[in-house]
Every structure is written in C-alpha cells, then in structure tokens.
Structure 1
Amino acid sequence: MSAAHSPRLKYMSLGVLVVQTTSLVLTMRYSRTLKEDGPRYLAASAVVSAEVLKIVTCILLVFRDHNFSVHILNQVLKEEIVNKPRETLKLAIPAAIYTLQNNLLYIALSNLDAATYQVTYQLKILTTALFSVSMLGKRLGLFQWLSLLILMAGVALVQWPTDFAAVPKEKSLSAGSQFGGVMAVLVACVSSGFGGVYFEKILKESKQSVWVRNIQLGLFGFVFGLVGMLVYDGHSVREHGMFQGYNAVTCAVVVLQALGGLVIAAVIKYADNILKGFATSLSIIMSTLISYFWLEDFDPTSVFFLGAMLVIAATFLYGYERKSVSPTIKV
C-alpha cells in the first residue's frame, strides 16, 4: 500500500467505524422499542443470524485470499479446522463469552437509551486493560491508569440518579428496568474485556489467518447461540418460528452486528489509537444527538454531559499513552 493511499484508507476505515457503531446502536435500540403487530423478534435469533452471516463473510474473504480457488478453500478449511481439533476447541471459550455478550447488548438496549448505553459501554476499556495486565503481563503507563480513573468517574456521573420527582409518571415507571440495562452493560463489558484478551492470546500463539480464526469462532458462536435460543425461547420458536418479527430494521441490525468485527479489523490495520478514540467519541456524540432529536427517548442533564466529556477525554488519554509508549492490546 503506497503512502498516498494510506491516509485515505485510514480516514475511510474510521468513517465506516463511526457509521457502523452509531448505526448499530441506534437501529438496535429502535428495533427493540418499535411497536408492531405480532411478536417482537427474538434477540437470540438475531445473534444466531449474525454469526451465520459472519461465517459466510469470512469464508468469502479466505476464498479471495487464495485466488478464488474452491479446491484450495476446501483444503484450507479442512486442514485448519477439521484436522486441528485442539486448535479449534480453543475458540470455544471466547465464542461462549461473545455469545453471552451479544445477547446482553440486546437486553441493555431494550432498557437504556442509546446515549447512556454508548457511554457506559466504554467501561470495556477498563476491563480489557485489567485483563491484559493479569493475563498477558502488559504494563500500563501513568497516563493510562489516570485515564481509567477518569473513565470510571465519567461513567459513574452518567449513571447518577435523576430527580424522579420531576420525571413524568410514564418515564419513572420504566426507570425500574434501567438497573437491569446497566447491569447487562456491565457484564457485557467484563465479557468483552476477557474475551478480547483471550482471543488476542490465541492469535499470538498461532499462525492461522484471522479470518480462519473468526470462522472457528463463528461456528462455536452459532452452536452456543442456537442452543441458548432453543432453551430460553424454544416455545416461542415452535409457535412462531425462528424468524418471527423480522423486518427491514431487524435485518439491518443483523448485518451491522455481523460486519462490526471486520470493520474494527480494518481500523486496527489502517488507523492508530488516537483516531480510533476520535471515532468512538464522535459516535457517542452522534448517538446522543439522534437519541434526543429522533428517537426522543433521552433527556440529557448537565451531569450526563460532564460524565460523557470525561469518558471521551479518558478514551483519548488512554490511546495517546498507548501510542507514545508501546503497542498494547486492541480495545
């Protein structure tokens, strides 16, 4: 790749990340609050569908990397997946964690507005950093530890309780579910941190293509997601089918979720952490504005804005230290 094309690819990948992240959060929130006739789509079904799409996409990428040869594709998949069962089984743990995480995000966005979710979910930076220190022996600099403290303070302010006496009765009644949404985000942050570091450790210990690893991850994710759907939503699936409640918005959520990992891979390849932090911050701002003006499910307060600014500042500070000292984990 020439130097002339590098800046264009860098900012293009960041632009796609901002659009993908913001669109996923907003469409997922919209899809979970949209009033329609008939049953709502199952979150577990959407997770399974996203895994299938992710597997198909990664197979096509492996196919492209081997000059569109069907014979070589079959050979690679058989050699790397079927003939290496121990290597493949290593992906079972992160796959189970990611399946749990993806289901939790649907629960979170069913109970939280997009802006609160976006800011709170940045706690995955903290969990990923802590797991990288404990599991990979990474060392964090002074600015990184400081940024993590600022991050916790910012998220705490975002979750600061509002004056419910001044809130309309309809909204105060739904406020009880907010606790469940926050807990879902927090557990998702922990699973994201552990899963990400565990997956990185596996990638470093092998020479397999990242797309092959994602196929292995997707296969386990599909199995775990399907079993979970049949266990928890089996009656609903038997009564209305797996794809009950699907519409254009649901399909958009599935596509955005499936392609999210590929977009992040492109950003990691072409952009640095400073610009990635900028993209995250821009996504938070866009989600806040759209949540307020379009979805009309968010009533911002001065405390929220202060917390959001602290989270954005912490994101930049963490990325700056990572670039200036030494490369560390991907968050």
Structure 2
Amino acid sequence: MATTKPKGPASSFDKTDGRVLLYLVLLALQYGAQPLLSKWFIRREVIVTSSVLACEVAKVFCALILLAKEGSLFKLYKEWTLVGSLTASVLPAAIYALQNSLLQISYKNLDSLTFSMLNQTKLLFTAFFTYLILRQKQSVQQIGALFLLIVAAVLLSIGEGSSSGSRGKYHDQVLFYGIVPILVASVLSGLASALCQWATQVKKHTSYLMTVEMSVVGILCLLASTYKSPDGEAIRRHGFFHGWTPLTMIPVLFNAVGGILVGLVTSRAGGVKKGFVIVSALLVTALLQFIFEGKPPSMYCLVSLPLVITSISIYQKYPYKVKKKEA
C-alpha cells in the first residue's frame, strides 16, 4: 500500500507558478543586459533627462495597456483618489527619478560587470531602511552577508580606480561620474524600496497602479527640473532627441519593461526571490560582456563576484526568525 508523504515546507520555487518564474527569468535577463544595452545604444551625446523621461512615459503606456488587458483599468479609475496616490507614490517616485538619472550617468563611465556588482549594494541600504521604516530585523547570518557585500563594493571601487591610474583626468571621471553616482543611487534605491513596501502593505496598491503613479510623478519632477538644470538647457538648445538614433529606443523600452517586471516580482513573488534575480543578473552581465565584447572580467571582478554571490545567497537563505516574545 502506497504511503502518502507528509507535506513539509516547500522550497522557494515550489509555490511559485510558471508565470512568476517567467517574470523572475525575464527580470534577471533585463538586469543583466541593461548595462550593456545602454552602453551600446545610448550615445554620449544623448541628454540623460531625455532618456529617463522617455523610459517613464513608456512605463506608463505599458502599465495602462496591461491594466486594460486584464480588465481592471476602469475599476481602479473609479477607486483612485488623489490623496491616496500622493501619500503612496510621490516620495518614492521622486527618489526613483533621481536614481534613474544617476544610473544613466554611471552606465557611461563604468565597466558593465563592475556596474552590476556595485549596484548590488542597494541590498544593504534596503535592509537598513526597511528596519528604519518597517522595523524588519536582520539575522546574524544576514548581517555577515551584508558585511561581505560591503567588502566586495570596496574592492570594486579600489580596483576600478587603480586600473585607471592613481591620478589623472580619467581616474576622476570614473570616480565622480561612475562609482559615486551608482553608490548614491543604491542609497536612494534602498529608501524607495522601503517606502514602496510600506505603500504596498498599508495602501494595498497594485503593482501596475504603483508603476503608473510613480512614473507620472517622476515625469512631472523631471519636467520641473528642466527649467534650471543643465540638461534642461541642453534640451532647449539642441532638442529633446539630441544624439538619439532608432537603436536608442532599445535600452529605453528594455528599462521600461524592467520597471514593470520589478513590480510584478515584488507583488507576486516577494522580496526573498529577488536573490535569484540579482545573482543571475550578475552572471548574465559577465557572460554577455565576454561574448559580445570579448572582455574577460578583471582580477578585482573575479575576486568580488564570488563575494557578491555568497553574500546574496546567505542573505536569502537565513532570514531573521521572529522570537516568541516579539511575536
């Protein structure tokens, strides 16, 4: 007589249906390929604000089309309130708009794999701000994993700077227009992620609605910034599409789709499974860079890559366990 196996805890992917797994794979590909696509198809003459604005507009159209396709657009329109939108989306949207501008600057001044690994420091800042805002604690193993992540980021910063020469114009360009922008963007990403998690838990916003609201607010913030910013002056002088080619739309649309996927993964799979996306994205970036550019990773990247992968793996595997008193 066949015995029935007792139902134990499922693995991290057992409860994930095929659609969510597809979102995870697509997001990993988008994360990994985005630095290379931006470097290949966005020329240096392209005004940063114009590419970010185009990406936000594309996100709005994609989210509205998906809402209409699933039949919830009219319902959300009737239930939508300005106050609810302002409290849930304005601040993270403004933060993400600034973060995207910093990322666009960093894309052009860093090696693709170095960019991807430095970008993982956002996990550290996300953990910090989720504790600050939501009081989510970290386990001892997670704290150790975050320490490994800091070590990897420091190695990459030192390695990128020393490979460019200890002094000189190019070294300053890499430091101030490559490393500094992406680290600041990681801080902003951690803050915005915590605020979005708060909005999702408290306001119960859907991922598509959050995407539309945040993109609209981001567009308004960017348009307002063009009145005084150097990018605004450049747009007025040379035109919005200065330096664009038909291929420029590839990374712009790719980034917009990635924004949609982030919302879907967060709402349907949870933050834990993002470890799969982050680790896979690093491997995708390294593989694509070697295949298409024939550029093997530097020594510092080879040393830092296992540290980043180990750090993220430990962080996802050993979450903080709530004690009885705390429960």
TM-score range, shorter chain: 0.7 to 0.9
Runs of 4+, deviation exceeding 4 Å:
3-7, 166-169, 269-275
Structure-2-length-normalised TM-score: 0.83
Q: Distance in 2 between matches of 1:223 and 1:256?
A: 22
Match of 1:248 in 2: 246
Match of 1:60 in 2: 65
Deviation at 1:304, TM superposition (A): 2.5
C-alpha change, 1:11 and 1:95, in structure 2 (3 Å) is closer
Q: Distance in 2 between matches of 1:294 and 1:172?
A: 29
Deviation at 1:105, TM superposition (A): 0.2
Superposed, 1:67-82 pairs within 5 Å as: 73=74, 76-77=76-77, 79-80=79-80
Deviation at 1:229, TM superposition (A): 3.4
1:223 aligned partner, one-letter code? L
Q: Is 2:46 the partner of 1:41?
A: yes
Q: Does the 8 Å CA contact 1:9/1:270 hold for their aligned counterparts?
A: no
Q: Distance in 2 between matches of 1:47 and 1:85?
A: 24
Match of 2:234 in 1: 236
Q: 1:15 pairs with 25, 35, 44, which one?
A: 25
SS in 2 for 1:129: helix
Q: Distance in 2 between matches of 1:174 and 1:293?
A: 26
Match of 1:188 in 2: 185
Deviation at 1:120, TM superposition (A): 0.5
Q: Does the 8 Å CA contact 1:98/1:195 hold for their aligned counterparts?
A: yes
Q: Does the 8 Å CA contact 2:29/2:284 hold for their aligned counterparts?
A: no
Q: Does the 8 Å CA contact 1:45/1:229 hold for their aligned counterparts?
A: no
Match of 1:157 in 2: 155
Q: Distance in 1 between matches of 2:155 and 2:243?
A: 36
Deviation at 1:267, TM superposition (A): 3.2
Q: Is 2:170 the partner of 1:174?
A: yes
Q: Does the 8 Å CA contact 2:161/2:174 hold for their aligned counterparts?
A: no
**Can you give the 5+ residue segments of structure 2 that lack an aligned partner in the other structure?**
1-12, 323-327
Tell me the matched-pair count.
Answer: 307
Match of 2:130 in 1: 132
Q: Is 2:322 the partner of 1:317?
A: no
Q: Distance in 1 between matches of 2:17 and 2:202?
A: 31
Q: Does the 8 Å CA contact 1:281/1:312 hold for their aligned counterparts?
A: yes
Q: Is 2:148 the partner of 1:143?
A: no
Q: Distance in 2 between matches of 1:274 and 1:137?
A: 17
**Can you give the 5+ residue segments of structure 1 that lack an aligned partner in the other structure?**
327-331
Q: Distance in 2 between matches of 1:227 and 1:242?
A: 15
Q: Does the 8 Å CA contact 1:273/1:319 hold for their aligned counterparts?
A: no
SS in 1 for 2:226: helix
Q: Does the 8 Å CA contact 1:13/1:270 hold for their aligned counterparts?
A: no
Superposed, 1:252-331 pairs within 5 Å as: 252-268=250-266, 271=269, 276-295=274-293, 300-322=297-319, 325=321
Identity of aligned residues (%): 23
Deviations along 1:218-272, whole A, 9 cap, x unmatched?
Answer: 1111111222234322332223221222223310111111111221233345657
Q: Distance in 2 between matches of 1:267 and 1:163?
A: 35
Deviation at 1:144, TM superposition (A): 0.9
Answer with 95-104 or 267-276: which moved more: 267-276
Q: Does the 8 Å CA contact 2:32/2:282 hold for their aligned counterparts?
A: yes
Q: Does the 8 Å CA contact 1:29/1:113 hold for their aligned counterparts?
A: no
Deviations along 1:20-62, whole A, 9 cap, x unmatched?
Answer: 1122111112234x57xxxx22111111111111111222222
Q: Distance in 1 between matches of 2:76 and 2:18?
A: 33
Q: Distance in 2 between matches of 1:273 and 1:98?
A: 18
Q: Distance in 2 between matches of 1:185 and 1:215?
A: 25
Q: Distance in 1 between matches of 2:136 and 2:286?
A: 34
